[in-house]
Amino acid sequence: MSGTFDKQDIEKIKRKRQEWENGTLKKQLDRFNITDSENEFYTPADIADFDFMEKVGFPGEYPFTAGVYPCQVPGSGPVTGGYHIGGGGGLVRAGRYLGYGTAEDTRDYYQSEILRGRTGGPNIAFDLPTQIGLDSDDPMAEGEVGKAGVAYDTLADFETIYEPFQDKNNLDSIASNWTINAPVNVILAAYVALAEKRGIPASKLRGTLQNDIIKEYVARGTYIYPPRESLRVTRDTFVYCNEYAPLLNPISISGYHMREAGATRIQALAFTLANASAYVQCGIDGGLDVDSFVNRFTFNTLSGSMEILPEICTRRASRRMWAKIMRDSFKSENPRNWILREAGGFLTGAWTSTSQRPLNNLTRAVIGGVAGALAGYIPSAEPPYDEPLGLGWSIEAQQLAEDAAKILYWESKLSKVTDPLAGSYYIEAMTDKIEAEAWALIHQIEEMGGSQGAIENGFMQRAVAQSAYEYQKKLETGEELVVGVNAFTDEQELEVLPNRLIPYPYDATKRAEAEKKQLARLAKVKEERDNEKVKSLLAKLEETAADEKANIMPLTIEAVKAYATIGEITGTLKKVFGEYSGYGKI
């Protein structure tokens, strides 16, 4: 199909632009004694070959630039306790990300959230020892137990955490999310085991495992095993879920964390899609047909920045690129598998929040919510303004964020029109530019053997570290301005904070006491369980792990049901898989 614009018209516009630059624009620049304009202006000449059906199409149809669904689910929108994940309209979703202290502490917090109107299931934040597969009584865990999230050692912890979710909110009626990667097999096993104890088959469970281990090597650092062996764990969870828990999303592929670590928008986009391709291949290598499992893949938000126009273009490009990857590279025949399913909407990113004049973060989040609506998502105004002030958010900050999203959705009605910026000369030109740059980076990664190779040789890690360094330099030189941080910091500027009406939900005393309580809890479980049975199951797990073709999930589930600890299970796998060190990669 030919482009939208006539070639003669394009040439006419180009000539007219030259006249404008040499005349009207130059006079203005000369008046202020400057050589270059700070403003950009786009015309049809910037998208001379624009073809609507090829570049945009209709929502819910290839290439999905305008949106992955033809319309939003009727009745859906921002919900209380929903974080950046829209709900309502019959959608079964997990809610706001939280967790701290012991299982009892997190259980009590969930109970209070339910009383406050929360409708979603748990979206669990785990402490650092759990994330790297250490037991709370491991010497390396000292001082970290229950700090960055809730401590998980054994199935007993899940039994307690999920106590508020019974009856009409039982495990077969809610969705759970787990931000867990390296020891994902243990957490999946714990949920399956808990459901079995309640008489609920795995086939009825809904939820999302993060399970995005590749980005851990790039950004967060909570890896355990080397990349190849980690992808073995990923493969086994895919295969298990595909057969026994088909309603679970076995992965949530995250550009967010890489962006938070310093990646540029191009790097975050390219690395995310390269990683996603590696995961698709992982499932195929496990014997799965591509059209049997990719429909359960989800993507966490790419994060973003305050430059919302190019960020909107990045989202549009991401949808188009993933559709091409699935259709053309993996030969998927089912259009539903070409959809980039995102867990939530657009975020400007927690990294844009500042501890200085923190209430300004609400303004930043609202701008992100506007961008999200324009990019085709249910708007969210997250994170709450006190994100940089410490672990967890105050109820007041959560209320303001949730109200802002509801105002954007129901009062401003920004979501009434799908992809309203489509056809803009700037938006289409920038979407094409971002896509081209991301493809170039993806091809570079492919030449290294894909994401696994790019991790093993340190390419991704170095790229993100360099970008973070370059951005920090711009902050220090003033090339990048952040209000209240390196600009507009005079004495007359006010620090405005709202009144605190409700006690802070993450009780500092409970956090301080968590480690002592968790150690006592763990010791009691170890004393009461059948230790010989645990020992026998761990030995069998080691044998299974040594067989590359075997799946470790069934024995992991049996070990968890016997109250084997997360550290015992990961320790057993370390004997076979080894451990990874990122030393020297950057």
Write the pLDDT tens digit of every residue in 464-474. Answer: 999 999 999 99
Q: Is the pLDDT of residue 279 over 70?
A: yes
Q: Is the pLDDT of residue 96 over 90?
A: no
Q: CA of 350: how far to CAs of 109, 220, 272, 548, in Å?
A: 23, 14, 18, 39
Q: Is the pLDDT of residue 284 over 60?
A: yes
**Among candidate residues 46, 43, 49, the one with its CA nearest the CA of residue 5:** 49
Domains, the chain, ordered by start: 7-49 (no CATH), 68-477 (3.20.20.240)
Chain segment 8-25, per-residue pLDDT in tens = 999 999 999 999 999 999
**What pLDDT score was predicted for residue 82?**
55
Q: Is the pLDDT of residue 363 over 80?
A: yes
Neighbours of 313 (CB within 10 A): 24
CA distance 258 to 262: 7
Query: How does residue 583 score in pLDDT terms, banded at 50, 70 and 90?
Result: low
Chain segment 31-49, per-residue pLDDT in tens = 999 999 999 999 999 999 9
Q: Is the pLDDT of residue 90 over 70?
A: no
The residue type of 285 is D
Q: Is the pLDDT of residue 173 over 50?
A: yes
Q: What is the mean pLDDT of residues 499-525?
A: 87
Arithmetic mean of pLDDT over the chain: 93
Q: What is the mean pLDDT of residues 453-476?
A: 97
Are 364 and 353 in contact, with CB atoms under 8 Å apart?
Answer: yes
Residue 175, SS3 per DSSP: strand
Q: Is the pLDDT of residue 209 over 90?
A: yes
Dihedral angle sign, alpha carbons of residues 428, 431, 437, 442: negative
Q: Is the pLDDT of residue 344 over 70?
A: no
**What pLDDT score was predicted for residue 3?**
63
Q: What is the mean pLDDT of residues 138-160?
A: 97
Q: Is the pLDDT of residue 575 over 60?
A: yes
% of the chain residues with pLDDT over 90: 81
Tokens of 515: 């480690």
Query: How does residue 91 score in pLDDT terms, banded at 50, 70 and 90?
Result: low
Tokens of 213: 């281990």
Neighbours of 40 (CB within 10 A): 10
**What pLDDT score was predicted for residue 1?**
41
Q: Is the pLDDT of residue 343 over 90?
A: no
**What's the chain's Rg over C-alpha atoms?**
25
Q: Is 70 exposed, middle or buried (CB count within 10 Å of its CB: 0-12, 13-18, 19+)? A: exposed
Packing angle of the helix pair 265-285, 459-477 (nearest 10 deg): 160
Q: Is the pLDDT of residue 94 over 70?
A: no
Q: What is the mean pLDDT of residues 246-253?
A: 97
**What pLDDT score was predicted for residue 389?**
86
CA distance 542 to 184: 17
Between these two residues, 304 and 424, which has the higher pLDDT value? 424
**What pLDDT score was predicted for residue 448?**
97
- Out of 364-378, 389-403, 495-509, 539-553, the most confident range is 539-553
Length of the chain: 586
Tokens 């890690």, residue located: 461
Q: Is the pLDDT of residue 235 over 70?
A: yes
Q: Is the pLDDT of residue 89 over 60?
A: no
